[in-house]
Amino acid sequence: MEEIPVSTLKVFGTQSMLLNEISRCIKFARKMDGLESSADRFVKSSLLKQAIVVWYQVFGSRGEDCHWSQVVGKQNIIKPFSRDSILGSLETDLAEWSSYHEDMKRLRDKFIAHFDMDTEADYFPSMDFALSVTEAYRDWLYALFTEYQKSFPVRAGFFDTDEFNALIEREWEEKT
C-alpha cells in the first residue's frame, strides 16, 4: 500500500470536520421543526444556511481545495469516490443531481453568501440530498481511514455515519 501524501491527509482531515458540521447543522435544524418562537426560527435558518455554505465547500465547486474530487483520486487504497457514488447514494440520475446542485448554488450565491435583492428566496431545496451525499462521502472517507490505518499510523478520530448520528443524538439530549 502506498502512503498518502501529508497534504492530502490534511485535506481529508479538514473534510471530515466539514462533513461533521454539515450533518450537525441539518440534523439539529430538523430537530427544531415545529418550534415556532422567533429565536428558534432564527437558529434553524442559521443552521440551514451554514449547512449549505459548508456543503458547497465539499460538494460544490470543483475548484475548492476541499472539494471531494480534488483528493479522492490521490489514493489507491480503496475504490475512489465518484459521481457514480453520489448518484448511487441518492438513487437518482445525473440530470436530477445537476438540477439539485444548481439549486443549491443559486441559493448560496443569490440569497446566503451574496444577498441579491432581486432574487426571490421562496424556494429552499430539500436538505435530503445534501445529507445523503454527505453521509455517503463520510462512509467512504471512514472506509479509507480504516483501511489506511492497517498499514500506517494515522489518528483519524473520525466516525462512520451510524456512530456520528448516535453522537448527534447524545449531543441533542444533553442540550435539552
| Residue 123, pLDDT score | 62
| Residue 1, pLDDT score | 77
**pTM assigned to the model:** 0.90
The answer to whether 78 and 147 have CB atoms below 8 angstroms apart is yes
Question: What pLDDT, in 10s, does the model give residues 86-127?
Answer: 999 999 999 999 999 999 988 888 878 776 656 555 567 789
| Residue 20, pLDDT score | 96
Question: What pLDDT, in 10s, does the model give residues 3-54?
Answer: 888 888 899 999 999 999 999 999 999 999 888 899 998 999 899 999 999 9
| Residue 29, pLDDT score | 94
Which CB contacts under 8 angstroms, 24+ apart, belong to 8-17? 8/71, 8/74, 8/75, 9/154, 11/65, 11/66, 11/70, 11/71, 12/71, 12/141, 12/144, 12/145, 14/66, 15/58, 15/66, 15/68, 15/71, 15/137, 15/141, 16/138, 16/141, 16/156, 16/158
| Residue 119, pLDDT score | 57
Across 1-10, 21-30, 67-76, 139-148, which has the greatest mean pLDDT?
21-30
Q: Please give the grid coordinates belonging to residue 161.
A: 455515519
Residue 20, number of CB atoms within 10 A of its CB: 18
The H-assigned helical ranges of 32-127 are 38-59, 68-71, 83-90, 94-107
